[in-house]
Amino acid sequence: MGPSLTFRAGVHDVLPTVFGYIGVGLAFGIVAHTSHLSLLVVAGLSFIVYAGSAQFIITSMLLLHDPLSAIFISTFLVNSRMILMSTSLAQYFRHESLTRNLLIGSLVTDETFALAMNKQNKTNGKLSFAWQSAANVVAYLVWGIATIVGAVLGGLITNPERFGFDFALTAMFIGLVYLQLISDRHLGLSLQLMVMLFVALVYYFMIGIMSQNFALLVATVTGCLFGMEMKKCR
């Protein structure tokens, strides 16, 4: 990953990440097929909802015939962390129009957000609309196509865990965390590890008294506040 912020650089930088999208996307397509969802529904979930974990939840809730209100609320809670990510990312695009900011925010994911945070370490804290759009659009298209292919192959692969598809998302996040740790010299390794440990502990204790999604949101917010205070004390 270099300092270039062109559209072409965005495509180049996001390519290693999309391999994780392919694995998880295929797994979702297979699961959706075995849950008796049509190819049209799979495509709609991937290109409209566009949220891996939420799509798995929606699929399971549809299979159980849960009410739409419960599905909407669950989807919102699962993806509520994106509010924090988009807010954090928006500071790099203050000079862009509202329309461009909305386009970026509507397609940003955990992975492209993490990629952007790594990228700004290489560019003196700068990001461009062209670079971010390239990363977002490539990830979006790869995810959608992978889920459709997975749905088509669903009749042939009935056990995605056998091929390790269920671990693809975890492996991708491990790689992104590693890149963040080694690339952000401004914060330092010790501070980043301290914040990660704090977030993990908060999540561990919160999960015993609230849902997983609320616990994740609380851990993320408190982790941000903790990191800010620790940075001031350095």
For residues 26 and 165, the answer to whether their CB atoms sit within 8 Å is yes
pLDDT digits (tens, 9 = 90+) for 117-149: 888 888 888 899 999 999 999 999 999 999 999
Task: State if pTM tops 0.85.
Answer: no
pLDDT digits (tens, 9 = 90+) for 182-222: 666 666 778 888 888 998 999 899 888 887 767 877 887 88
Question: How far is it, in rounded angstroms, from Cα 116 to Cα 128?
Answer: 10
Of 60, 17, 32, 36, which Cα lies nearest the Cα of 149?
A: 32
Structure tokens that stand for 149 in this block: 């292919």
DSSP letter for 167, please. G
Question: How far is it, in rounded angstroms, from Cα 53 to Cα 71?
Answer: 13
Residue 157 pLDDT level (bands cut at 50, 70, 90): low
Residues in the chain: 234
pLDDT at 150 exceeding the cut of 70:
yes
Of 69, 184, 188, which Cα lies nearest the Cα of 119?
A: 184
Q: Give Cα 72 distance to the centre of its chain.
A: 19
Listed in sequence order, the DSSP H helices in the chain are 7-34, 39-44, 52-63, 68-79, 81-90, 98-107, 110-120, 129-153, 168-183, 189-206, 212-232
CB-CB neighbours of 156 under 10 Å = 8
